[in-house]
Amino acid sequence: MLQKPWFKFFIWFLTTFFFFLSAGVIISMLKPGPSESEVMQFMMGMMSAMDNSMMGVAMNLESGGLLSRIIQLSSVIIIPLVAAGIAGGILIRLRNKGWE
């Protein structure tokens, strides 16, 4: 059984797996914690990422006058655009049915 190729591959796979597992455990146990500057850089990066996300945009709606006006204007034209799209789709569908 030790001469079979699949068994050798299985042993190689298990050895590699346990090597990387033990290396990860040793590195995580021996590594010192983050410094204060690393923590501050991480927090600043998270805050800038949040400002650019949808949640950040939603939080800035009250303070951003231009953004709130753009949303108001787009909400006014969305209903006619959706209605025109539905009507156009129905017309194309009926026109294609008539040609068949």
Q: What is the pLDDT of residue 81?
A: 93
- The token pair at 54 is 């949808």
Closest CA to 67 of 54, 80, 82: 54
pTM metric for this prediction: 0.35
Q: What is the pLDDT averaged over residues 45-59?
A: 79
When pLDDT is cut at 50, 70 and 90, the band that residue 87 belongs to is very high
pLDDT, position 89: 93
Q: Map out the domains of the chain as residue ranges.
A: 1-30, 60-100
First to last CA, the chain: 68
Render 22-42 in DSSP notation, one character per residue: HHHHHHHHHSPPPPHHHHHHH
Cβ 61 vs Cβ 68: under 8 Å: yes
